[in-house]
Amino acid sequence: MQKLVIASNNPGKLREFQFLLQPLGIEVLTQAQLGITEAEEPHHTFIENALAKARHVSRLSGLPALADDSGICVEALGGAPGVQSARYAGDNPKSDQRNNEKLLQDLQGVTDRRAHYYCVLVLLHHADDPQPLIAEGEWRGEIAHEERGDGGFGYDPLFWLPELGKMSAELPRDEKHAISHRGKALKVLLEKLKIM
């Protein structure tokens, strides 16, 4: 595989994927570079949405595609925001800041702040690939009571890592990628690619 299209327009995800895939010598393209619009994400599960995104981009580009669907799942909220993480506070426009504010508001007075980031990656060699490569990763932590740190994106300023005594947004990029949900899922995916 010499070229791969990332099925996302999220600048934070694109930076992470380009950084993590750089050592493989694969030319990483974005769907925006190819003029491909975002796929619909109507499903209730991460895996279904990731498959839909990968098929959409692979079909329109004629190239292998890598899609991720990920989000933060909060125990006390029954797994919400979950697949709605990017749109938790609405779509007009999508905003990390508004999503973080809504999450803090929804957790007011809640003592159980356990949460985890979840990521599923789907790699298709072509749009009708009957055996997509699927990899998952999970990253456990807690939701803090206020934001801290200026790294990362999404809910990172609220994602507290008790074992490190830091927010995800306070981690250096290399350290975050080594332990994050997306980093873990990509390691699994790369292992699967090696045995093909």
> 32: which 2 tokens?
């925006």
- CA distance readout (Å), 106 to 76, 109, 172, 179: 10, 9, 29, 27
Catalytic residues: 69
Sheet harboring 65-74: ordered strands across?
27-30, 3-6, 65-74, 114-124, 133-143, 159-161, 166-167
